[in-house]
Amino acid sequence: MYKIVKKRVLNEQVKLMEIEAPLIAKKAQPGQFIIFRINETGERIPLTIAGYDRTRGTVTIIFQEVGATTKQLGQMNEGDALLDFVGPLGLATHLDGYKKVAVIGGGLGTAIAYPQAKALFEKGACVHSIVGFRNKDLVILEDEMKAVSNELFVMTDDGSNGNQGFVTTALEKQIEKGENYDLVIAIGPLVMMKAVSELTKKYGIKTIVSMNPVMIDGTGMCGGCRVTVGGETKFACVDGPDFDGHLVDFDAAIRRQGMYKKQERESAEHKCRMLGGIQNA
C-alpha cells in the first residue's frame, strides 16, 4: 500500500498529493511517469511525476478530476493509501548541455513542466518559463515556477490576470526580442503543443513535447499509446513520453484522443446499482 502523506488543493478541480513510495522516489527523473490503481477493482491511470523527494521517499502527483478514477482519488485524504503505484516508467528527459531554455506549460501541463524547469535551473541553465491558463482562477504553481525560473510569464486566455494571450504569444515575443533558446520544452494540450512546435519550427529551435495518449499497461505491450513520429509508430510509454515536436503527427494524435470520449463520459457518470456509488471497472 502507498500512503498519501500530503494533500493540497490547487484549484477547484486540481489537486496535489505526495505519495509515500521510497523506491520510486530514489530513481525518478523529470519526464517520467507512474501508473496507479486505487483498489483491486480500479482502472490503471498514468500520471507524470510532478516531483520527488529522495530524502523523504515521496513522489508528487498532480491531477485534475475529470473521470471516475480521478474523482475518487480526489476524495481521498492524507493517511489513505493506494493499492498500486508503479514506476518510474518512461524515459527521462535529456536536459544536459543546454544554456537557455524556454519551458512552456499549458494548464495542467504546468505540473509536468515544473520538474523540467527545476532540473534545468539547478543545472545552471537560464530558464524562461511560460505558462498559460484559461483564467486567473485556474493558475497553479505560480510561486513554484517563479522560484526555478529566471523569467516567468503567466498568460491567460481572457486576460483576467492582466496578461492576455496564448503561450505562443509570449514565446514569439521573446524570440523576436532576440532571445536565443537552445531548446523549447512544451507540455500541455495537444493543440497547444502543436502550435508551439509550428512556431519554433519556423525559427529552427529544437523542441521537445510530452505525449500523453491513452495508455493501459505502460510497458509497450498493449500498443494503446502509439503515436506517429517522423512517419514511424512509437509507443509513448517506452519510447517517450518525450518526442521531437517537429516530427510528431499532432493531427493523428488529436483524432485518437477523441476516440473514447463517449466511453469516458459514460464511465464518469456510471452508478453501480448494487453498491450505490461510482465504481471503476
Q: Are the beta carbons of 234 and 226 closer than 8 angstroms?
A: yes
pLDDT at position 222: 80
Q: What is the DSSP letter of 138?
A: G
What average pLDDT does the chain have? Answer: 90
Q: How many CB atoms lie within 10 A of CB 30?
A: 24
Cell numbers found for residue 58: 515521496
pLDDT at position 36: 94
pLDDT at position 281: 42
pLDDT at position 223: 80
Look at the block and give the residue holding cell 494540450: 189
Which tens digit of pLDDT belongs to each residue from 84-133? 999 999 999 999 999 999 999 999 999 999 999 999 999 999 999 999 99
Nearest alpha-carbon partner for 199 in 186, 182, 213, 212: 186
Rounded to two decimals, the pTM is 0.86
Q: How confident is the model at residue 22 (pLDDT cuts 50, 70, 90)?
A: very high
pLDDT at position 280: 46
pLDDT at position 20: 97
Q: What average pLDDT does this structure show over 219-247?
A: 90
Which tens digit of pLDDT belongs to each residue from 60-74? 999 998 888 899 999
Domains in the chain (CATH in brackets) are 2-89 (2.40.30.10), 100-257 (3.40.50.80)
User: What do you get for the CA distance between the two ends of the chain, in Å?
Assistant: 20
Which tens digit of pLDDT belongs to each residue from 136-162? 999 999 999 999 999 999 999 999 998
pLDDT at position 96: 92
Please determine, for residue 264, whether its predicted confidence score (pLDDT) is greater than 70: no
pLDDT at position 25: 96
**What residues contact residue 45 under an 8 Å CB cut-off, 6+ apart?**
35, 36, 37, 69, 70, 73
Nearest alpha-carbon partner for 210 in 186, 234, 235: 186
